Amino acid sequence: MSGRWNRGRLIAALFVFLCAPFSQAAEPLPTPLTLRQALQLADGEHPQLEQLQAALAIAEAAYAGAEADDDLTGGVEAALRVIEPSPNSTNQEHYDSWLKLRLSKRLYDFGRTEQSIAAADAAREGRVWELLELRQQRRLQVMEAFFGVLLADLKYARENEAMSIAFIRFDRSQNRQQLGETSDLEVLRLQRLFELSRRRVITSQNRQRITRSQLAISLNRPDDLPAELEFPTLALGREAGELEPWIEKVLQDNPSLKAVRAAVSAAEQQLHAAQAADNPVIRGELEAGVYQRQLGGRNDMSAALVFELPLFSASRVDAETAQRRAELRERRAELALKQLELRQSVLELWMELQQLQAERIELEVTSDYRELYLDRARARYEMEVSSDLGDSMVRESDIRLKQAQNDFNIALTWAKLDALAGELLTDQVPAEAAEGER
């Protein structure tokens, strides 16, 4: 019993820890908003969290109800009676009112109550792990939305730069046209390129608004769109190591897998409880009464130890047992399927990290090349030699966008892998990166 009580205290502590942040009052989003702040806000009020919090409260109530099933029960029974006594009775009074107090407690039912409590406890534990899994998924959503805003801003900067260059070329062509140095066809070609760039700028501006709305909604602040975000300094030098240790850790610590394991345990206990439904019951009873009409067969107080043995229950117990056995089979199949899915997810994330790291090295080399090429283009421009300076600047912005996208993909992939391994993303930005944010 003490082990069950300690486990209950642990579940209750987890319940308080998981649910405490939800009651925080909403305040305006900080400006600029950092990644660390956004991840902390992921625990704020949100319909998804409220839904699972309510489910956990229901599981808590079900557990309390299972524990109270064998509690002491009591009741009072009273009657105001008028009778016509038998002629043979020695007591010829007509008033036969009485008041009784009855107390009853189930003392032992050969495992039925114990199994029901264990099933409710396992179901409650499963809800706790489901809530932890949701908190992780909420952080991943917020992180992805945060990165989406930054990428939208970078893309807008690139498109705006390309539009400026296209406009300068179009404007110069108009001047040369007036001097007879270029054809109408060339002017229209450059105007078409400018209009194409302008449309892309409008599209990127819309994307800025859309991504900010997505981030605000992920934080449950639909009317508080973040105006400015601080670009995080991410530590991306982690080594993934071998695949097998990751698979072992995920299969041991994954919250959703623990929730399914708890569901299997609950189904097992429910099956045992169903099988014990027709077990004998030992119950203690105490009755005290006050009678207006005294008779020899009436006792002012009585105590009894009652033994109940069901003789038959038709097919009710068999039907419930069959249902519980089928549910257990379903839960076990769900557990096996979840393990297979997690193995595949770990493999895909692990391999994606390898690919992203290789892409990162490629982009670093490309960035070095673009920087040198841009320096040469500037030098040729300053010497008034024909140069593709504008195109070089756009390509430089494009490589910066690709590098940022690669960095964010690496950080997000690591976060997904850590979440699968059961690590709550409370401090996703590493310590050395946090210094960079300050």
What's the CATH number where 407 sits? 1.20.1600
Asked if residue 295 is part of any domain, the answer here is yes
Instruction: For residues 412 and 288, state if they share a domain.
Output: no
Task: List, for residues 212-238, the tens digit of each pLDDT value.
Answer: 999 999 999 998 999 899 999 888 888
Instruction: For residues 293 and 432, state if they share a domain.
Output: no
Task: List, for residues 264-314, the tens digit of each pLDDT value.
Answer: 999 999 999 888 888 888 889 899 988 877 776 778 888 999 898 888 776
Instruction: For residues 262 and 341, state if they share a domain.
Output: yes
Q: What is the pLDDT of residue 155?
A: 93
Distance from C-alpha of 208 to C-alpha of 206, rounded to nearest angstrom: 5
Distance from C-alpha of 2 to C-alpha of 427, rounded to nearest angstrom: 35
Distance from C-alpha of 405 to C-alpha of 414, rounded to nearest angstrom: 14
Distance from C-alpha of 254 to C-alpha of 41, rounded to nearest angstrom: 23
CA dist list (Å): 396 to 5, 150, 163: 63, 17, 15
Instruction: For residues 418 and 293, state if they share a domain.
Output: no
Query: For residue 255, is pLDDT > 60?
Result: yes
- Residue that is written with structure tokens 């690139």 in the block: 158
Closest among 409, 428, 424 to 151, alpha carbons compared: 409
Distance from C-alpha of 284 to C-alpha of 68, rounded to nearest angstrom: 16
> What letters, b where the CB count within 10 A reaches 16 and e where it falls short, cover 42-62?
bbbbbeebeebbeebeebbeb
Rounded to the nearest 5°, which phi and psi values hold at 186? -70, -40
Give me the helices (H) in 179-315, please: 184-218, 243-253, 255-275
Q: Which residue has the higher pLDDT, 413 or 308?
A: 413
Q: How many CA atoms are closer than 13 Å to the CA of 121, on its beta-carbon side? A: 18
Taking the mean position of all CA atoms in its chain, how far away is CA 417?
A: 15
CA dist list (Å): 327 to 134, 199, 312: 24, 57, 25
Asked if residue 319 is part of any domain, the answer here is no
**Sequence-distant (≥ 6) Cβ neighbours of residue 44 within 8 angstroms:** 21, 22, 24, 26, 219, 220
Instruction: For residues 11 and 61, state if they share a domain.
Output: yes
Query: For residue 143, is pLDDT > 90?
Result: yes
What's the CATH number where 295 sits? 2.20.200
Instruction: For residues 240 and 361, state if they share a domain.
Output: yes
Asked if residue 350 is part of any domain, the answer here is yes
Q: Which residue has the higher pLDDT, 381 or 181?
A: 181
Instruction: For residues 25 and 45, state if they share a domain.
Output: yes
How many domains does the chain fold into?
2
Asked if residue 403 is part of any domain, the answer here is yes
Instruction: For residues 11 and 101, state if they share a domain.
Output: no
Q: What is the pLDDT of residue 435?
A: 41
Distance from C-alpha of 229 to C-alpha of 37, rounded to nearest angstrom: 10
Q: What is the pLDDT of residue 311?
A: 81
Distance from C-alpha of 198 to C-alpha of 167, rounded to nearest angstrom: 9
Q: Which helix (H) or strand (E) holds 74?
A: strand 73-79
Q: What is the pLDDT of residue 323?
A: 92
Instruction: For residues 250 and 290, state if they share a domain.
Output: no
Q: Which residue has the higher pLDDT, 147 or 178?
A: 147
Asked if residue 231 is part of any domain, the answer here is yes
Q: What is the length of the chain?
A: 438
Asked if residue 232 is part of any domain, the answer here is yes
> What letters, b where the CB count within 10 A reaches 16 and e where it falls short, cover 148-174?
bbbbbbbbbebbbbbbbbbbeebeebe
Token pair belonging to 351: 């391999």
Instruction: For residues 300 and 388, state if they share a domain.
Output: no
Asked whether the bond before 32 is cis by omega within 30 degrees of 0, the reply is yes
Query: For residue 349, is pLDDT > 80?
Result: yes
| Residues 208 and 12: beta-carbon distance below 8 Å | no
Instruction: For residues 384 and 240, state if they share a domain.
Output: yes
Closest among 39, 36, 149 to 438, alpha carbons compared: 36
Give the pLDDT band (50/70/90) at residue 430.
very low
Range of the domain at 76: 72-108+279-312
Instruction: For residues 225 and 301, state if they share a domain.
Output: no
Give the pLDDT band (50/70/90) at residue 90.
low
